Chains A and B, each alone.
Chain A
């Protein structure tokens, strides 16, 4: 197990280097330049050229990458070219916000979807199973912008039960943040519930057909013990893998939710940085999400290995 963890951690290094190079190269393809982004469409070309020169944005790509990389690895993440604020605290704050939203959403999504999926799997082909499958699938296909707008209109505009923003006023106690995150977490639940629940259902159905479950039942074990001791443990393997792969998206891919609910997460930060050629901010934000994504997958693999001794033994 330790070898697995060590190998995966080591693999992160070349992955991050490659990702950072790709970001730099892809940013070149985007239209515009940082000088124009800072000074706007109505600045003269001379002004833009002067600023680009001052920022070093007119230097060759490899030179700019080397300059950025040498600073980044030594902890000098620099300042945002547009916002003139230090990159490190800005990225960490946005990442923290995204982690909180993702964590809050996962706390709701994971138990609910597993419960629903296993319940459906245990009652395969029943009216309830079909009802759960159809309803969760229907929720999954609703774009989060649509479900978000409808939810805001119902709960914030009409009923006024929940706040329309995802951030409480400054100075509010930390606990208030969870109240403000309820509304944005619901569209995420709609999206993820169907996906994870179906994985849990399929896992349950597959495990229920295994000979060792039949044996356990024939041995006369109580149903509760069969389900919790044997079915759940084995049915969770594909579900945990799916959850691990969704964490990255839940942290870095919530641009729509962050935009709609005015939430300062890292997804919106990355999009803004990409659109304005703010490379120090973009690089740091993308690499931070990449690290989280890889760590989440590693944790998922560890959990899967713990659940399934054959994987653990196989290394």
Chain B
């Protein structure tokens, strides 16, 4: 069966699933995007299902076409960002400042819309083999880097091989470890790339999309020192960059992108960036009108922004979490009942209200959460239940309660979360001592002694991840690089491998249900919420694309008078 036949059959399968009620229209859109169907084809599939083709997704105000005026060409937008801690290098960046900057000039194979669904960028289609262990990507043709060289399959191979090379310092290496190894990426012809994975991985497109921040495409001869040689295929050209202070970008006149009406992108002429580390200072800049846009706004201290009549704070269904990990290699967390006891002490709604004014989505200790990841099975709600918590303490051998230590970095809202856990555990007889340390100290040391991977119980902040599978791959498997819990469950690992080896939606849902049940029952980590992302802009700013994570796309941004 060739690609086209496979895609046609898969499309028909999706239509049948929707018609039979086994899949929602939204799930169809998600699956279609995963397998590289264009928006047009996805629309045709929806139409074939009957009824309206509109999605039921909760699109952001910025993405809601009806509320958006006609694009205005020209102008300069001023954007405020935290500075990149390191120099700008697409291979090694890992913080918001670096990621947002690089993604303006370099592009990914696959984009993410503001509901975290995949959409074509430099790759037009992505197709798996039967067990999702080999993926074939068809590239967009006619794209050029801003140095004039053509974008071809050899550039994709070089870019990805660079990322899986341990000597490159790639920040994407750990995410790709065990899935794609050096030598696994091959160019079939100038516009086709094949990824031969180490194991089946149905979520692979998400590992080379805009949420895998380092997977931007660079020329095959890229030799580093990006700020001096800012090469990419993106809509902007870097005109000026002063580390930790400011940057200026002007539109790339030869950019390949056009909007639906055929207008050349980007709409704006220029982007001025100002780098501000302190959130209070950034908020004051927004309120004073000195800047137009903050791609990602943190909740703490942002209350004044919601009340400012000149600003619009958009909310995006984010997938970021605060992982409260029980290190199952340390006492007392080998005991599942004791882990569950803490879980039943939590009033998740109260935590959400205290930390995020109730704007985030509640979590119940599993990654498979349908309010965040639409194709997920619905987990049982875990409400606060002190009676059950005390029973679990008794069955866990701690009838008189227990004393535990929670290690937390003084970073973002993590200390406040620790205090809430402390207060909510107290009535059950669980006395929580908070070990608050600096951000640097939290991540310092080697894998064998760094606090974030070796404390008995700790809180770690995670930025957005596009699927539950990507989260689980990173922290819940025996091979996970970033497992704070050190949880090793053979049944979970086995089901996970099956889950990643199939493209069939019904089968994946069956496995997802099992995975969710195991994760929630075992409770290696507490997941009280999925953080809704905020983006603040003047009310005259429209068209900022992206899922409100570190990544955002300004190619369709414009400003009205």
Tell whether, in the assembled complex, residue B87 and residue A42 are in contact, meaning their CB atoms are under 8 Å apart: no
B92 touches A38 (CB 8 A): yes
B243 at the interface (CB under 8 A from A): yes
> Which of A36, A46, A83, A169: most chain B Cβ within 10 A?
A83
4 closest pairs, A vs B, by CB? Answer: A40-B94, A31-B444, A32-B444, A31-B441
A36 touches B444 (CB 8 A): yes
Out of A30, A37, A149, which one reaches B280, CB within 8 Å?
A: A149
Verify B281–A262 contact, CB threshold 8 A.
yes
**Does residue B416 face the partner (Cβ distance < 8 Å to A)?**
no
Chain A positions 1 through 30: 1 when the CB is less than 8 Å from some CB of chain B, otherwise 0: 000000000000000000000000000001
Establish whether residues A82 and B87, one from each chain, have CB atoms under 8 Å apart when the complex forms.
yes
Query: Which of the segments A123-131, A156-164, A199-207, A227-235 contacts the partner chain?
Result: A156-164
Hey, what's the 0/1 contact readout for A270-289 against B, CB within 8 Å counting as 1? 00100110000000000000
**Interface residues in chain B, defined as those with a beta carbon under 8 Å from any beta carbon in chain A:** 85-87, 92, 94-95, 166-167, 169-171, 173-175, 177, 225, 227, 240, 242-246, 248, 272, 274-278, 280-281, 284-285, 287-290, 437-438, 440-441, 443-447, 452, 481-482
Measured CA separation A36–B441 after assembly (Å) = 11
Give chain A residues whose Cβ lies under 8 Å from the Cβ of B280.
149, 260
- Our pick among B169, B276, B440 for the contact of A32 (Cβ within 8 Å) is B440
Residues of B within 8 A of A44 (CB): 166, 173-174, 177, 447, 481
Q: Which residues of A contact B284 (CB under 8 A)?
A: 149, 152-153, 156-157, 164
Q: A83-B87, A83-B243, A262-B274 are in contact. Are A41 and B443 (CB under 8 A)?
A: yes
Q: Which residues of B contact A37 (CB under 8 A)?
A: 85-86
The CA of A138 and the CA of B535, in the complex, are separated in Å by 39
Contact B169 A31 (CB under 8 A): no
Q: For the complex, what is the distance from the CA of A276 to the CA of B86, rounded to whole Å?
A: 9
- What are 27 A-B contacts defined by CB distance under 8 Å? A32-B441, A37-B85, A37-B86, A38-B86, A38-B92, A39-B94, A39-B169, A41-B443, A41-B452, A42-B94, A42-B175, A44-B447, A50-B169, A51-B169, A83-B243, A156-B288, A157-B284, A157-B287, A160-B289, A163-B290, A170-B240, A259-B277, A260-B281, A262-B274, A262-B281, A262-B285, A276-B85
The DSSP consensus for interface residues of chain A is loop
> How far apart are the CA atoms of A75 and B440 in the complex, in Å?
31
Q: Is A133 an interface residue (CB 8 A)?
A: no
* Cross-interface CB contact of A39 among B92, B275, B277, B287, cutoff 8 Å: B92
Taking a contact as CB atoms under 8 Å apart, the answer to whether A84 and B166 are in contact is no
Residues A43 and B174 in contact, CB atoms below 8 Å apart: yes
Check B166–A50 contact: CB distance below 8 A: yes
For residue B446, which residues in chain A have a CB less than 8 angstroms away from its CB? Answer: 45, 48
* Contact A47 B166, beta carbon cutoff 8 Å: yes
What is the minimal beta-carbon distance from A258 to any residue of chain B, in angstroms?
10
Interchain CB contact under 8 A, B86 and A83:
yes
Which of B87, B173, B277 is within 8 Å of A84, CB to CB?
A: B87
B171 touching A84, Cβ below 8 Å: no
B244 touches A275 (CB 8 A): no
- The answer to whether B171 touches A82, judged by C-beta atoms less than 8 angstroms apart, is no
Complex interface bits, A41-68 against B, C-beta within 8 A gives 1, otherwise 0: 1111111101100000000000000000
Q: Considering only CB atoms, which chain A residue lies closest to B228 in the complex?
A: A84
Distance in Å: Cβ of A45 to nearest Cβ of chain B = 4
Contact between chains at B440 and A82 (CB < 8 Å)? no
Residues in A whose Cβ lies below 8 Å from that of B166 = 44, 46-47, 50
B444 / chain A contacts, CB cutoff of 8 Å: 31-33, 36
Judge if A134 is at the interface, Cβ distance under 8 Å. no
- B440 contact from A30, A39, A42, A156, Cβ within 8 A: A30
